[in-house]
Structure 1
């Protein structure tokens, strides 16, 4: 891992900090494109909204019986309400250097897209009464719109990041939900370990792999120098085109491994490209959070 001078870290932090208001505005605009119905959890429990009637079972008290509904039938019925206790969603946004890559200067970096999706999802979840936070100590889960500022500050925390990140599963609440945003191009065993720890706590969620179209298409030929964003890895070849098939096979294996891991852990997996619509990814994410209830 290469060392970064303090002045460089300060410059990056100031640059990111200056972009935060615009990022929040963009995230709220993106969230506004998702039409929300009633944000119900569809579980029986304590709440104010009627959900359904069900036949009374042995052990139900007389106070639970809806006598008006039962009078229209030979059965006794219980009026169930929708469970509305706020849930916790923890988000990990990879800050590794690999996410600073973009194959086109006119296209957002992977980090930009990860932060946008994470913040837009947070807007939707907070509107629905959820507690949202970042994994680790950057921004503990809280409810309310004011939490968006804590999330922004957590994402702005700039450190001397490695080339590739490892999911942070610190402070995950048992039986909560989580979303991991990364390109997942580092050591896959570290991802497996992190997801195993999360699953042991009963946490369900989604892996969102964000890739640049160039990483999917490998449009390289002839003499090419491949170098990691931090400079710790470097490979020069005179015939890059000869590597295309092997590279694409390895990438397909990596994506399949992540998808299999997610499925085995009861999680969801999405591979999203920065050349694709952010709205489609947000819709998928919000639905995944609903399915994870």
Structure 2
């Protein structure tokens, strides 16, 4: 279904209505994680001190740390830690299902995903990293926070339940963060990871779900419909579906874990009723791994 320009503007305005609150919430959340550049833990052309080592025969005099060497009969070289010149690309699904919340007191999955994405960007930017939405320029500096926030809230929801990042947007010298509910078609995951592996790109898959999607607390007659209206299942005994649903969810997670591990990536999952700081800390840690 195509939308008129007026409909597109209305959707964009509705999506960006919570922009100031998103920035404030992300700022508070990001303060819970101490930033730092992700070094490669080997000698190289970085800026941070790593170790002293004894000078080797033929070592250039400009490499000698004369102050440290003056305290010994041995000449020492001050090695720095090599750091990646990589940028971080973040993608957040805008499939219709991301607008779901099982309780009006909980954020929809999409808004929680936006919060995590922006807070992670803030932490990385404070550490001097380049960050951007996947397919858009990655930059440093405070202004990039505003660009990221505007980009996240300005994303128009797709008209279907499925949403996928373009594998062609993956470039070398990137680390990627892919946030979705991963509940619909997932063939794109294998395609994305295949391209990432070929380019030497590492990253993270994070599944964000509502507690109702985690626990399936339904019983009796329930008419299940996707938010797009493209899928529907009318059940007279919803409780009888619980075991099969939970098994399918576990199988989906096992598959995502295997796909991620096979590509040298990480897979994690987060519930919208759990503190976002836990997911943020995990994302930051594994990106530096």
Structure 2 equivalent of residue 175 of structure 1: 173
Whether contact under 8 Å (2:94, 2:155) holds in the other structure is no
Structure 1 equivalent of residue 145 of structure 2: 148
Distance 2:94 2:226 in 1: 14
Change (3 A) 1:233 1:85: closer
For residue 227 of structure 1, the aligned residue among 225, 232, 239 is 225
* SS in structure 2 at match of 1:275: coil
Where structure 2 has 5 or more consecutive residues not aligned to the other structure, the ranges are none
Distance 1:82 1:34 in 2: 22
- 221-230 or 2-11, which deviates more: 2-11
Offset at 1:158?
1.1
Whether contact under 8 Å (1:95, 1:161) holds in the other structure is no
Change (3 A) 1:125 1:188: same
Aligned runs of 1:1-293 on 2, under 5 Å?
A: 7-36=6-35, 38-39=36-37, 41=39, 42-57=41-56, 60-70=59-69, 76-83=75-82, 86-136=85-135, 139-155=136-152, 156-291=154-289
Change (3 A) 1:48 1:246: closer
- 123-132 or 45-54, which deviates more: 45-54
Whether contact under 8 Å (1:86, 1:129) holds in the other structure is no
Distance 1:123 1:193 in 2: 29
TM normalised by structure 2 equals: 0.90
Q: Deviation per CA, 1:11-53: give whole Å up to 9, x if none.
A: 32112222111111110111112234x5462443234432211
Q: Deviation per CA, 1:55-92: give whole Å up to 9, x if none.
A: 44577444323355456567553211233565300001
Where structure 1 has 5 or more consecutive residues not aligned to the other structure, the ranges are none
Whether contact under 8 Å (2:160, 2:230) holds in the other structure is no
TM normalised by structure 1 equals: 0.89
Offset at 1:130?
0.8
Offset at 1:125?
0.7
Distance 2:112 2:157 in 1: 19
Offset at 1:199?
1.8
Offset at 1:201?
1.1
* SS in structure 2 at match of 1:271: strand
* SS in structure 2 at match of 1:146: helix
> How many residue pairs align between the two structures?
287
- 241-250 or 166-175, which deviates more: 166-175
Distance 1:4 1:243 in 2: 36
Change (3 A) 1:4 1:228: farther
Distance 1:182 1:262 in 2: 14
Over the aligned positions, Cα root-mean-square deviation in angstroms equals 2.2
Q: Deviation per CA, 1:123-178: give whole Å up to 9, x if none.
A: 01111111111112xx3111111112221222213154321211333433313211
